[in-house]
């Protein structure tokens, strides 16, 4: 018999938390909660093994110092091996201007600002950690057909007829979230009419673990240090080249030689000669904000809740901050024997994330508007702004702590404590 939403047996299913979407955010949450003793089921429409393919995702993510502790708590850091590269300095400059902003981690301590991690390495670490987690069931590839949040337990019906019931459903299925739509949560947003072109280059001179952001008329051009092969650890960088969406297809269609020539014009020659490593990827850039983070027995986390411009490398950081707060709230509720899907528990999560996420969305949007244009008075104002921050040590230290993700009230996991 195919179970239905009304099937009584679902009330006995021992799932605490059902996560829809096993990307970097949903996958990390699943491991953390399972390791904290909650019974977790993760549903993804894709085969998790497909994410291990090098061609799946060419991006590398800048992970702030405080956020990396969430990955460490999930046991992912140790599984990355030597894959992460520290970010010890950050240089921000407007193309054609002599004014710039330079952060050096040694001005405020020994720790780096954060780390660059290739997404493919993080996916592999997640895959291994999920296989090792005892309380975690992965149902994938699987398609969700319906969701019922009206009963004493949330119920998810899969396209093959299986019904999964849990105290709480987490929608972590990305920007076009089906779970968000099924929960009746609306989202607003817009396209930036920009495309993020991503590739890896090998360069003649060492990067010295410095991250660069150049502001060009079409948008930011980021040069981010990653760890190369043994012996050439400091000779590879991941690039995010923001281009107008109408020009990006032509750039993507260039031959490797022509692409490299265009790239070199934007990159400059400070790291010597360049060579392309692997293919290029392109990502349409947009903003998205869900009107709320929760519904009855339901929460959103990661890009399904907030999709932002990669100008400050914050999308995954914010998703992992969601994870840190949600894991803390749910682990506390479990210890106290509370209903994990009760309004009081969900309210703690909503309150814990609303301000931080909205602030970061607003900041990344404003930065992109300020820097992705060539209007002379705006250029002058922003260049003076960069130089002013650079010249004011007190203010600069505040911004450096923000870059580390250390500012504000942090959940336990981001302070290096257990969930
Ligand atoms: C060019 C670029 C550079 C970036 N650089 C950085 C950076 O340096 N630092 C940073 O912090 N962030 C960065 N980001 C942002 C970051 O990549 C995203 O915020 C992050 O990957 C979002 O992860 P997620 O798990 O929430 O969503 P996703 O990665 O979209 O994962 C969603 C998951 O849900 C699954 N799914 C989708 N639909 C369904 C469905 N209907 N049913 C079941 N499963 C489903 C998918 O298969 C997938 O596994 C960058 C983004 C771009 C575009």
Q: Which domains does the chain have, with CATH numbers?
A: 8-85+114-190+287-373+405-415 (3.50.50.60)
In whole angstroms, give the CA distance from residue 36 to residue 299.
19
CA nearest neighbour of 34 among 133, 106, 125, 108: 133
The confidence score (pLDDT) of residue 227 equals 94
CA nearest neighbour of 296 among 171, 137, 144: 171
In whole angstroms, give the CA distance from residue 326 to residue 340.
11
User: Per residue in 32-53, pLDDT tens?
Assistant: 999 999 999 999 999 998 988 8
Model pTM?
Answer: 0.94
Q: pLDDT band at 73, cuts 50/70/90?
A: very high
Ligand 1: residue whose CA is nearest its atom 38: 173
Q: For ligand 1, which residues put their CB under 6 angstroms from it?
A: 20-26, 43-46, 59, 61-62, 144, 172-174, 178, 196, 198, 240, 283, 302-303, 310, 313-317, 319
Asked if 180 and 299 count as a contact pair (C-beta separation under 8 A), the reply is no
Higher pLDDT residue, 393 or 234? 234
Each as own residue / partner, the long-range contacts of residues 331-337 (CB below 8 Å, 24 or more positions apart, any chain) are 331/33, 331/36, 331/38, 331/419, 334/16, 334/36, 334/37, 334/38
| C-alpha pair distances (Å), 271 with each of 107, 216, 237, 268, 391 | 24, 19, 10, 8, 26
The dihedral region occupied by 285, where left means phi > 0, alpha psi between -120 and 50, and beta the remainder, is beta
For the CA of 178, the closest atom of ligand 1 is: 41
Lowest mean pLDDT among 78-82, 118-122, 275-279: 78-82
Lowest mean pLDDT among 194-198, 211-215, 384-388: 384-388
In whole angstroms, give the CA distance from residue 356 to residue 174.
19
């Amino acid at each position: 018999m195919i179970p239905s939403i009304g099937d009584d047996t679902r009330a006995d299913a021992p799932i605490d938390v059902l996560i829809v979407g096993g990307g970097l955010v949903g996958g990390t949450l699943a491991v953390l909660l399972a390791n904290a003793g909650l019974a977790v089921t993760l549903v993804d429409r894709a085969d998790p093994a497909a994410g291990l393919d090098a061609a799946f995702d060419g991006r590398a993510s800048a992970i702030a110092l405080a956020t990396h502790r969430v990955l460490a708590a999930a046991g992912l850091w140790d599984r990355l091996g030597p894959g992460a590269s520290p970010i010890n300095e950050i240089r921000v400059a407007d193309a054609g201007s002599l004014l710039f902003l330079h952060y050096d981690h040694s001005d405020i301590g020994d720790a780096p600002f954060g780390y660059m991690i290739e997404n493919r390495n993080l996916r592999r670490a997640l895959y291994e950690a999920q296989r090792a987690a005892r309380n975690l069931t992965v149902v994938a590839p699987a398609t969700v057909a319906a969701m019922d949040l009206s009963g004493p337990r949330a119920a998810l019906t899969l396209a093959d007829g299986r019904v999964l019931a849990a105290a709480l459903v987490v929608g972590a299925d990305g920007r076009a979230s089906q779970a968000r739509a099924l929960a009746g949560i609306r989202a607003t947003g817009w396209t930036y009419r920009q495309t993020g072109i991503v590739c890896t280059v090998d360069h003649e001179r060492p990067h010295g673990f410095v991250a660069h952001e150049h502001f060009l008329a079409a948008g930011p051009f980021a040069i981010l240090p990653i760890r190369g092969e043994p012996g050439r650890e400091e000779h590879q960088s991941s690039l995010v080249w923001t281009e107008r969406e109408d020009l990006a297809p032509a750039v993507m269609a260039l031959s490797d030689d022509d692409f490299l020539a265009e790239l070199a014009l934007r990159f400059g020659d400070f790291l010597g000669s360049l060579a392309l490593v692997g293919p290029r990827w392109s990502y349409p850039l947009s903003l998205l904000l869900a009107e709320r983070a929760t519904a009855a027995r339901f929460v959103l986390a990661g890009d399904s809740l907030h999709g932002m411009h990669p100008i400050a490398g914050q999308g995954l950081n914010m998703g992992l901050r969601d994870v840190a707060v949600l894991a803390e709230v749910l682990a506390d509720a479990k210890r106290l024997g509370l209903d994990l899907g009760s309004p009081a528990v969900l309210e703690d999560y909503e309150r814990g994330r609303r301000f931080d996420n909205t602030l970061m969305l607003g900041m990344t949007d404003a930065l992109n508007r300020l820097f992705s244009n060539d209007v002379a008075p705006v250029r002058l104002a922003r260049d003076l702004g960069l130089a002013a921050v650079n010249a004011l040590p007190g203010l600069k230290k505040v911004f450096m702590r923000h870059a580390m993700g250390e500012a504000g009230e942090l959940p336990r996991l981001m302070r290096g404590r257990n969930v």
